[in-house]
Structure 1
Amino acid sequence: MSEQTQFTAAIVDFITGMDGQTPQGEHLRLARRCLMDGLAVALGGSEQPGMAPLARYIASIGGAGQGRPLGAGDVRLPAHLAALWTGTAGHAMDWDDTQLAEGPGRPYGLLMHPTMPPLAACLSLLDLAAAEGGAPVSGARFLTAFATGFEVGCKVAEAINPDHYMRGFHTSGTIGAFAATAAAARLLGLDADATARAIGIAASCAAGIRANFGTMTKPFHVGRAAENGVTAALLAREGFSANTEALDGKWGYLTIAGPGGEPELVAHRLGQPFTMVSPGVSIKPYPSGVLTHPSMDALRFLMRDEGLAAEDVAAVTLHAGSNVLGPIRFRIARTELEGKFSFAFLLSAIILRGRCGRQEFTDSFVASPECQDMQARVETAFDPAIEAMGWDRIRSRIELRTHDGRQFTRWADEAYRGGPDNPLSDREVEEKFTDNAAGLLDPARQQALFDLVWSIDTAPDAAALLDALHWGAFAHHGA
């Protein structure tokens, strides 16, 4: 058997061999942080405009009350639909964490959003697993399943040819399906054969294309990945058949969707080390693609250090390579969804508000006359010299001209805020949660949630997370 035909088997061995291996040490610390961040962005994302039609769609289907969608109170849904809701909410603001690249030729910071697919899958199965097992799912069991899915997704994303993303696949939707499947299989306790079949089923579901960036369908990719993972695991548990080497060989996922890949880079490194630990994960300070963050910070700190105000700014030009400019689709944003893929908007928000968070990502602010006027003053320029420096870091340069003729230049810091070399503090992660919870959870409930997450590995019932986060999201959307 070749190296490539062993990749699926290596993943199955890892998933089914995680008994008693709750994250420890630094892995545990980071897993709690990713959990806190994932819950934050899913809570805030649950009230985004795209969630209203999704809620109506889900309500129209109905079905067995197997699991609870995050934020929806006492609503019970089929587990796969609960995963669809939570996963979509978690990516609705594009504020969920980002996996860093490690292998050669991998564009730094441009692989996948690793937390939401496995987290949404695990949350959606908590009630079902407890009902079938006759006992609550412990925090340790929940965290182990989540971390298992996180690791599998990251390693598959490392293995597949980077051309997978460059050709237009959205990795968080495609590879996210394998992350969710691994988490669901681990939480449900599937054996090796069922786990391999679940991966095979997921391989025929894993999809998502970048043409839908800037629309409600982009976060739907992550919701669908979570849904696909839960569906695959439940189908496999019922005996549904699938190829048990579906990642491998001539017709396997890596070959077809890559095309190709280098599974030998990761097949023997699952958990050695965990990707969450090394090379690490970026917890985002802004609700947009991670490749935009260093430039946003560069402009923010330039204006702060030079004492500049919005009325001083005549023009801004961002110089960068294709790794930074390539995912940007909109010259001028008209909606908040387009704004996530428009440097004109992202930099205008920094100029006008000195920040770019949940309150700035609204259709009303993006379309406001002041924001539209400022966007017209912000340009991007491909820079061959920056391109020649390579894609191993997120590099860019801001040039700003004032109305009185002054010129300022600032390079983006390679140790960008939120990345492993310059991480958000635990307190900043909590503040991000508070930003997302504003108007939804009062301070006492937020603090109770903080206490629960920071000790989740010792919690007797992980479903307490869902209890703590309900605010009636489905009712809010009129579902």
Structure 2
Amino acid sequence: MAAADIQNRNAFEEVEGLTRHVAQFVTDARYEDLSEELLELGKKSILDGLGLALAGSVAKSGELVRQYLNGQGANGPATVIGSSLKVQPRFAAFANGVGIHADDYDDTQLAVGKDRVYGLLTHPTAPALPAALAAAEARGASGRELMLAYHLGVEVECKIAEAIDPRHYQHGFHATGTCGTFAAAAAVSKLRHFDLDTLIRAFGCAGSQSAGLRENFGTMMKPFHAGRSSESGVVAADFAEMGWTTTEKLLEAPRGFFRAAGGGFDSTAIIDKLGAPWTFVSPGVSIKPHPSGSLTHPGMTEMLKMIREHDIKPEQVERVDVGTNQNMPNALIHHQPRNELQAKFSMEFCMAILLLERRAGLEEFTDEVVTRPDVVEMIKRVHFGVHPEAEAAGYDKMTTIITVKLRNGQSIQGRADFGKGSPANPMTYDEAAEKFLGCASFAKWNMTKAEAIIEQVRSLEHIENIKALMANLSE
């Protein structure tokens, strides 16, 4: 559907045909529409997501999810990654969504608009990939079918997140939990070859299930949001396929998703923008080098560089000042973290652990490390707040300005707008594979299987049945 076919009455109230416009994009898309560049970018995030699901399987949340599923009697065809469990697709989507997001180590959508917080829109893979995997495994779909469904899910999720008024996030909604539901619904609908009207109803069902509040950041509920959004997309497709009725204008209606959840939206972020360009291509998706909130990563990248270049020792540090724009402290809310989940949203911890250990991986984000006396003491030396220069740089960057004051009176300064793994400083496939192996090792996964997964994803388009991949992700 072209832009000319849509009557724009009021960009903040109603744009007729917008839900249909999005659904038409999904139903019309073909694998041949995906460029080689797009496919290669997607493979890195798919591999990243699989590794994170393995790492998440050994988190406390993973244990509790499996405990819950064992009590549901929900045996089925879909794999709970990192376990021997086979469950119904909706439950596999939930479990693997929680797993991917459990360590807050998963990829991040980057914003286009300057009024939006760069890196704070959604985590695109956590809702989209688990639903696509579950539906693909249940149907015996090919690697090409999986990739098409995954890319469509990510694209729908990201463009919806880009369009909604920034108030949606700023006032407390977690966009991964809300917009991610549409990603999962789009991915599953594509794998099931829904026609246009059925897909529109799947979106109608998805929108009424979208949920997630940022007050729960730093707790198990944050990854729950990702899992539930993925599960809800599967449920939406299930009911749409049975003939469940919904509104045909869930996105754009005055009482629909955009108005209710955000107060408004920018239709130009969606109309004729789906796949033009694909979000993976521009502005890009960032893969995390550290298992913490994405807003910490420019500062962490710069701090690690400063530590190495100046050989900064912990005992030399008197004070560290970290300044950002005002939206970053609004998300990094734990200034004196008491556990690993809070530490993921603590700029103070992230700076402190790098100064003490010169690394910040899964092994550092544990309750035992967070509460270590030397860590608690170093956190007291880190001061985090708003810096006028960072604020002036705009919200389409994650500008972080660092000053390390040493006990000898010397001051060392650094600034970064983007972190390692961002499109400005991307990971190669081999670097993503190295991160994957780290996650697999953390989960004590069979390393022969882990190496095989890397090569399977590298040539995913040649896999005839996705069950071959899932076998290496199952005990």
Shorter-normalised TM range: over 0.9
Q: Write the distance in 1 (CA, Å) between the matches of 2:18 and 2:97.
A: 26
- How far apart, CA to CA, are the structure 1 residues paired with 2:74 and 2:451? 34
> 4+ residue stretches of structure 1 with deviation over 4 A?
none
Q: Identify the residue that residue 396 of structure 1 maps to in structure 2.
A: 400
Q: Spell out the pairing of 1:59-78 with structure 2 (5 A cutoff).
A: 59-73=70-84, 75-78=85-88
Out of 386, 392, 396, which is 2:390 matched to? 386
The equivalent of 1:11 in structure 2 is: 22
Residue matched to 2:56: 45
CA displacement at 1:63 relative to structure 2? 2.3
SS of alignment partner, residue 422 of structure 1: coil
> Does the CA contact (< 8 Å) of 1:117 and 1:180 recur in 2?
yes
Q: Does 1:418 align with 2:421?
A: yes
Post-superposition offset of 1:104: 4.4
SS of residue matched to 2:466:
coil
**Does the residue aligned with 1:431 lie in a helix, a strand or coil?**
helix
- 1:273-422 matched pairs, under 5 angstroms: 273-412=277-416, 414-422=417-425
Task: Note the 1:7-406 alignment, pairs <5 A.
Answer: 7-21=18-32, 23-73=34-84, 75-129=85-139, 136-406=140-410
Counterpart of 1:448, as a letter, is: A
Find the aligned partners of 1:290 and 1:76 in 2 and give their Cα distance.
32
One-letter amino acid of the counterpart of residue 109, structure 2: Q
Return the offset for 1:442.
3.5
Say which SS state the counterpart of residue 338 (structure 1) adopts. helix
Distance 2:71 2:329 in 1: 40
TM-score, normalised to structure 2, is 0.95
Q: What is the CA–CA distance in structure 2 between the aligned matches of 1:49 and 1:404, rounded to whole Å?
A: 44
Equivalent residues of 2:449, 2:472 under 8 A apart: yes
Q: Distance in 2 between matches of 1:70 and 1:2?
A: 45
Distance in structure 2 (CA, Å) of the matches to 1:68 and 1:238: 24
The number of residues matched between the two structures is: 463
The 1-side partners of 2:454 and 2:34 are apart by 19
Aligned residue for 1:433? Answer: 436
CA distance in 2, matches of 1:239, 1:197: 8
**Aligned-partner Cα distance in 2 for 1:315–1:104:** 32
TM-superposed CA distance for 1:344, in Å, is 1.4
Assess if the C-alpha contact under 8 Å between 2:218 and 2:345 holds in 1: yes
Alignment-derived partner of residue 132 in structure 1? none
CA distance in structure 2 between the aligned counterparts of 1:104 and 1:263, rounded to whole angstroms: 16
* Structure 2 Cα separation of the partners of residues 96 and 245 of structure 1: 31
User: 8 Å contact 2:204–2:248 — kept in the other structure?
Assistant: yes
SS at match of 1:195: helix
Question: Helix, strand or coil: the match of 2:243?
Answer: coil
Tell me if the contact between 1:180 and 1:229 (Cα under 8 Å) persists in the aligned partners: yes
Aligned equivalent of 1:477:
none
Alpha-carbon spacing, 1:459–1:430, altered in 2? closer, same or farther (3 Å): same
Does the 8 A contact of 2:114 with 2:394 survive in 1? no
Q: Is this contact kept in 1: 2:300–2:350, CA < 8 A?
A: yes
Asked if the contact 1:178–1:229 (Cα under 8 Å) also holds between the matched residues in 2, the reply is yes
Cα pair 2:103 2:292 within 8 Å, conserved: yes
Q: Verify the 8 A CA contact 1:92 1:219 in the aligned structure 2.
A: yes
Q: Distance in 1 between matches of 2:75 and 2:243?
A: 20
Instruction: Supply the RMSD in Å over aligned alpha carbons.
Output: 1.4
Equivalent residues of 1:23, 1:143 under 8 A apart: no
Letter in 2 for 1:86: N
By how many angstroms is 1:52 displaced?
A: 1.9
d(CA) in 2 for partners of 1:68 and 1:85?
A: 9
Indicate the SS of the match to 1:168: coil
Is the 2:48–2:436 contact (alpha carbons within 8 Å) kept by the matching residues of 1? Answer: yes
8 Å CA contact 1:149–1:182 kept in 2: the answer is yes
CA distance in 2 between counterparts of 1:356 and 1:64 reads: 38
Secondary structure at the residue paired with 1:28?
helix
Please state whether the residue corresponding to 1:345 is helix, strand or coil: helix
How far apart in 2 are the matches of 1:100 and 1:453?
Answer: 24
* Contact 1:157 1:171 survives alignment (8 Å): yes
Distance (whole Å) between structure 1 residues aligned to residue 154 and residue 179 of structure 2: 11
CA shift digits 1:1-36 (9 cap, x unpaired): 633222101111011112443633101111111111
| Residues in 1 aligned to 2:434 and 2:294: alpha-carbon distance in whole angstroms | 19
Q: State the Cα distance separating 1:160 from its structure 2 match.
A: 0.8
| Cα distance in structure 2, aligned partners of 1:395 and 1:81 | 39
Question: What secondary structure, in the 3-state scheme, does the structure 2 residue paired with 1:333 have?
Answer: coil
Contact 1:23 1:31 (8 Å CA) reproduced: no
Say if 1:396 and 1:20 are closer, same or farther in 2 by CA, change over 3 A. closer
Per-residue deviation, 1:365: 0.8
| Alignment gaps of 5+ in structure 1 | 130-135, 472-479
